[in-house]
Amino acid sequence: MSKTTKWLLAVAGVLIIIFSLQFNLQADDEKEEKHPEVDFTQSCMECHKEVTPDIVRDWEKSKHGVMNFGCYMCHGDGQVEFYRKPSTETCLSCHTGEPVDARKGGNLQCFSCHNGHSLKFHQ
Amino acid sequence: MGLTRREFIKTSAAAAAAASLGTSLIPGAASQLFADSTKWHKSVCRFCGTGCGVMVGERDGKVVAVKGDNLNTINKGHLCVKGFYLHKIVYSDTRLKHPMIKKDGKFQRVSWDEALNFVAERFNSIRKQYGPDALAFYGSGQAETEETYMANKLYKGCIGTNNMEGNPRLCMASAVGGYLTSLGLDEPVGTYDDIEQAEFFMLIGSNTAECHPILFERIIRRKHQNPNVKILIIDPRKTPTDQITDLHLFPKPGYDLAILHAMARIIIKEGYADEQFIKENVVFKDNKKDLTFEEYKQFLEKYTPEYAANDSGVPAEDIVAAARMFGRAKTAMSMWTMGINQRTRGVWANNLITNLHLLTGKIGKPGCDSFSLTGQPNACGGVREGGGLCHLLPAHRSVKNPKHREEVAKVWDVPVSNIQPKPGKHTIAMFEALNKGEIKGIFILCTNPAQSLPNAAKYRKGLEEQFVVVSESFFPTATTKYADVVLPAAFWTEKEGVYGCTERRSQYMPKIVEPLGEARWDAFILRDLAIRMGFKKEFEKYKTAEDIWNEYISLTKGKDMDLSGATYRRLKKVRGLRWPVPSEDHPGTYKRYVQGDPLFDELPREKKKGRWIYFYGKPEGKAVVWARPDKGPEEPTDEDYPFALTTGRVLEHWHTATMTGAVPELNRAVPKAYVEIHPEDAKRLKISNKDQVVIETRRGSLKIEARVIDRPEPGTLFVPWHWEEWMINNLTIDAFDPGSKEPEYKVCAARIKKA
Ligand code: SF4
């Protein structure tokens, strides 16, 4: 193999890894984006109190719970939009300062350190 | 946020890929909306009277995002759930984009020219045939000050009628009456800054957590940082605000006046009164005459804790404990809203809260205030200060006062004889007059009375029969159904102007994007209508929002609410200014009536006589402690209607939900109305959770879902009022406070049964 061919193959290999990684992520996300069919005349909380009581309890005790920032704020309404894993972007609408310098920690998103429901700091 | 699902997936995939390659990623760096191409503009939340600062993200001429303004000291970057979704409302499908005239019962799109000419002709012919008082205006605490100012000039100064009202009559009028009678001038002494210095909070008739969430957050933080801070709630219903309470008194709806008197009695008897403060700064009165302190004490003798307990249903020992909490705290802040104001004795209830502050001297000092919370973003700024009610003129002036009429007529450049000396019709009287045909044409701006009036069904007759013009950003609403003409109004971010919030703070909002469709700014709709009605000379000079604002602030010069220093130039830079702000180099005022308030500082020494506080709106600078009788609600419960029905709000929706109803997330959070009923009552009536029930009052009935929950006390029902489909205002009572003319939404007699 010529030097050029080797180099091309190496680049192609890296690209394949990156694309497949992206593809997998995308496929996973597509899967994750579906919320089971629900009765949209009831609120998220009415059902989730029964199906995920621990999560609701964690949330209730958190600052978000005290302020009643409901499920929909991070996860979407479940009908028009649904995010199983919410993005950090949503946080930035209120947490407009940068209390933590994320650069110091490396590849961080808010939920890398904060539990999404209790909001407690974890490693 | 407003990402599509596809965009979201792309963003998360990119983030993950970047992470896998070891690139550092600051939160938001991969974000679509927080990207560099988004331009951020400083503005103010469109919803409640808290007045939070927001940053509006704009890209390619569209509003794409909202975030809290971390430089605004009100909210320091935080938002509640409503403010969070503001950007979604701008592009709601329900935006009204073209003027329409109803022809043969159907709305048809017309040009602006046709619409405005039609309205001008109809208004002029009504005026000619029946006189100016056959016309009316009904405005809003959500309109900008500039908008209300234009309507005021058109109606009071040019058409010549004082039939000019606004929805703050339905929410804040009793607070105005309370401040005027107790302290001499409208609006609070202190500001939000007192929250961080208060040791004790009395939240009465306020569900702060849901109705003023960001203030609630500030109170939580205060308590969290200082565990000695105590919180007393007086409210007939348990609400999310209870998460931080130390003591909650649950009076029967409408029966809290005796409690406040009983607290005053205990405060004096147990030595918590500040005798020196009282001697220097307070006088006593009952409804007929002046009293001495001794006579006031005599008056209070009736109000033993037991008497108040019997009247209100609150245990006597809790009333004693509440009084001691107030008395013992070094600093005390009371906050209230609709539970106090929307009552047939709303002004008295306001007075009795301020009494406690005057008796203990807990007013005018850091951390102390008798502080009314406002419901709408510009009820204080536009309507109370701007003079948008039937008895007012701009800058805390009154139509009855000949000097005031002259001052305003001069600035408006109209003959003073145009301004009638007699107040016009207050809101309920105005809609009665429409029913009777005494008012034949009405312009309704930025509000939805067909849903928000009490006993609403009664007032639909007038709306159906008379000529109704509605200027609105949304369509349809309960009110546009009755309109003959609908005019599309530019919405928040599509117009510039000023909002004045609860704490006397005026804040500027820029125009960021072009109005949707053919929508126009309300101030210019009114200007152009005025010109077509024949008032060219009076209105053609207003070319910009700043022209209107400058004229308005010239009227505030030298008044208690001096805004002369709050020019657009300055407001564009700062996060609002709290009046009095008499010059461009004045920083604004934290506390009124004390050192630092320019009006106090200017008072001659002989007047102040060494006093540190001087209520300059009252004779001798002395505030009034009122001996008002205790009076229950207009419609007490009885055998036929054994429940007290009270109405209110949820965190996620606002007023008639024309805005919050356009946000899928907020609809999802609270998709429908319900009636809260206590488990004991539900058991007795065999009502289970989620059963359909029928509530009836003497005015109407409503089928609705039951929520069996221990939030209301037994004997009380609660229904949130946001939905047209479950219009609880068909059941509420339209009896009103004889002083403030504010209706008693908060209590009427009802019965309930399984559907
Ligand atoms: S508290 Fe009021 S002003 Fe602040 S974000 Fe919420 S609705 Fe807007």
B577 Rama class: left (phi>0) / alpha (psi -120 to 50) / beta: beta
Identity at B495, one-letter amino acid code: K
DSSP track, B74-108: TTTT---HHHHTHHHHHT-TTB--S-EEEETTEEE
| Domain harbouring B227, CATH code | 3.40.228.10
Q: Whose structure tokens read 């159904």?
A: B481
Whether the CB-CB separation of B687 and B637 falls below 8 Å is answered with: no
B467 Rama class: left (phi>0) / alpha (psi -120 to 50) / beta: beta
Does B606 fall in a domain? no
> Token pair of A15, please?
């690209």
User: Is B430 annotated as catalytic?
Assistant: no
- Ligand 1 atom, smallest distance to B68 CA: 5
Compare A85 and B541 and report the one with higher pLDDT: B541
Domain that holds residue B427: 100-170+378-560
What is the pLDDT, as a whole number, of residue B255? 97
Backbone dihedral angles phi then psi of residue B740, each to the nearest 5 degrees: -90, -15
Q: Do A95 and B20 touch (CB under 8 A)?
A: no
Does B589 fall in a domain? no
| B161 and B196 fall within a common domain | no
| B231 and B123 fall within a common domain | no
CB under 6 Å to ligand 1: residues?
A: B 45, 47-48, 50-52, 75, 79-80, 82-83, 212-214
Considering only CB atoms, which chain B residues are within 8 Å of A30?
Answer: 9
Cα separation, B127 vs B96, whole angstroms: 29
| B142 and B235 fall within a common domain | no
User: Is B376 annotated as catalytic?
Assistant: yes
Identity at B206, one-letter amino acid code: S
Coil, strand, or helix at residue B316? helix
Q: What is the pLDDT of residues B182-240, one digit of tens each?
A: 999 999 999 999 999 999 999 999 999 999 999 999 999 999 999 999 999 999 999 99
| Residue at which a domain ends, from B352, B372, B392 | B372
Residue A2 has pLDDT above 70, yes or no: no
Burial class of residue B227 (count of CB atoms within 10 Å of its CB; 0-12, 13-18, 19+)? exposed
> Token pair of B84, please?
């969070």
B437: Cβ contacts below 8 Å, ≥ 6 apart = B462, B465, B466
Determine the distance separating the centroid of ligand 1 and the alpha carbon of B190, expressed in angstroms. Answer: 20
Domain boundaries, chain A: 44-113
Sheet holding B135-139, edge to edge: B106-109, B100-103, B485-488, B467-472, B441-445, B135-139, B164-166
Whether the CB-CB separation of B378 and B499 falls below 8 Å is answered with: yes
Catalytically annotated residue among B142, B342, B376, B420: B376
Over residues B588-608, the mean pLDDT reads: 97
What is the pLDDT, as a whole number, of residue B516? 98
As beta bridge partners, residue B393 has B397
- Ligand 1 atom, smallest distance to B78 CA: 5
Determine the distance separating the centroid of ligand 1 and the alpha carbon of B378, expressed in angstroms. Answer: 13
| B415 and B549 fall within a common domain | yes
As beta bridge partners, residue B577 has B506
Residue B577 has pLDDT above 70, yes or no: yes
| B440 and B555 fall within a common domain | yes
| Residue at which a domain ends, from B41, B71, B90 | B90
Residue B58 has pLDDT above 80, yes or no: yes
Does B224 fall in a domain? yes
Mean pLDDT of chain B: 94
| Domain harbouring B65, CATH code | 3.30.200.210
User: Is B172 annotated as catalytic?
Assistant: yes
A11: Cβ contacts below 8 Å, ≥ 6 apart = none
Sheet holding B623-627, edge to edge: B290-291, B282-286, B623-627
Identity at B297, one-letter amino acid code: K
Cα separation, B36 vs B58, whole angstroms: 11
- Ligand 1 atom, smallest distance to B214 CA: 1
Considering only CB atoms, which chain B residues are within 8 Å of A68?
Answer: 81, 209-210, 213, 240, 651
| pLDDT classification of B582: cutoffs 50, 70, 90 | very high
How many Cβ atoms sit within 10 Å of the Cβ of residue B613?
Answer: 23
| pLDDT classification of A7: cutoffs 50, 70, 90 | low
| B63 and B150 fall within a common domain | no
Over residues B476-494, the mean pLDDT reads: 98
State pTM to two decimals. 0.91
Whether the CB-CB separation of B709 and B433 falls below 8 Å is answered with: no
Q: Do A78 and B16 touch (CB under 8 A)?
A: no
What is the pLDDT, as a whole number, of residue B7? 37
The enclosing H or E element of B469 equals strand B467-472
Query: Residue B70 is nearest to which of A69, A73, A97, comparing CB atoms?
Result: A97
Q: Do B31 and A94 touch (CB under 8 A)?
A: no
Query: Residue A42 is nearest to which of B665, B666, B671, comparing CB atoms?
Result: B671
Which residue stretches of B329-476 are H helix?
Answer: 338-341, 346-360, 402-412, 427-436, 449-452, 460-465
Cα separation, B303 vs A18, whole angstroms: 78
Residue B496 has pLDDT above 70, yes or no: yes
Q: Do A18 and B210 touch (CB under 8 A)?
A: no
Over residues B646-662, the mean pLDDT reads: 96
Cα separation, B255 vs B252, whole angstroms: 6
Determine the distance separating the centroid of ligand 1 and the alpha carbon of A94, expressed in angstroms. Answer: 12
Q: Whose structure tokens read 């404990």?
A: B321
Q: What is the pLDDT of residues B312-370, one digit of tens each?
A: 999 999 999 999 999 999 999 999 999 999 999 999 999 999 999 999 999 999 999 99
Determine the distance separating the centroid of ligand 1 and the alpha carbon of B591, expressed in angstroms. Answer: 23
What is the pLDDT, as a whole number, of residue B26? 38
What is the pLDDT, as a whole number, of residue A99? 55
Which residue out of B56, B92, B665 would a mutagenesis test of the A interface target, given it has the greatest number of A Cβ atoms within 10 Å?
Answer: B665
Considering only CB atoms, which chain A residues are within 8 Å of B67?
Answer: 92-94, 96
| B86 and B75 fall within a common domain | yes
Residue B57 has pLDDT above 50, yes or no: yes
Q: What is the pLDDT of residues B276-324, one digit of tens each?
A: 999 999 999 999 999 999 999 999 999 999 999 999 999 999 999 999 9
- Ligand 1 atom, smallest distance to B46 CA: 8
What is the pLDDT, as a whole number, of residue B305? 98
| B296 and B434 fall within a common domain | no
Q: What is the pLDDT of residues A8-62, one digit of tens each?
A: 555 555 544 444 443 334 434 444 567 777 787 888 888 899 999 999 999 999 9
Residue B497 has pLDDT above 70, yes or no: yes
| B304 and B382 fall within a common domain | no
Q: Whose structure tokens read 């992520």?
A: A25
Cα separation, A59 vs A69, whole angstroms: 9
Longest dimension (CA), chain B: 82
Cα separation, B109 vs B517, whole angstroms: 12
**Which of the residue ranges B63-67, B417-421, B720-724 would you say has the lowest mean pLDDT?**
B63-67
| Residue at which a domain ends, from B372, B397, B420 | B372
Does B623 fall in a domain? no
| pLDDT classification of B17: cutoffs 50, 70, 90 | very low
Whether the CB-CB separation of B353 and B113 falls below 8 Å is answered with: no
Q: What is the pLDDT of residues B156-168, one digit of tens each?
A: 999 999 999 999 9
| B137 and B121 fall within a common domain | yes
Over residues B54-77, the mean pLDDT reads: 94
A66 → chain B, closest CA residue = B243
> Which residue, B737, B140, B741, is CA-closest to B388?
B140
The residue ranges of DSSP E strands in B620-700, in sequence order, are: 623-627, 643-648, 674-677, 692-696
Q: What is the dihedral of CA B522, B525, B527, B528, to 10 degrees?
A: 170
A94 → chain B, closest CA residue = B78
Does B324 fall in a domain? yes
Domain count for chain B: 4
Determine the distance separating the centroid of ligand 1 and the alpha carbon of B78, expressed in angstroms. Answer: 9
| B439 and B513 fall within a common domain | yes
Does B477 fall in a domain? yes
Backbone dihedral angles phi then psi of residue B138, each to the nearest 5 degrees: -130, 110
Cα separation, B9 vs B11, whole angstroms: 5
Backbone dihedral angles phi then psi of residue B382, each to the nearest 5 degrees: -80, -40
What is the pLDDT, as a whole number, of residue B38? 87
Cα separation, B631 vs B256, whole angstroms: 9
| B30 and B108 fall within a common domain | no
Percent of chain B with pLDDT over 70: 95
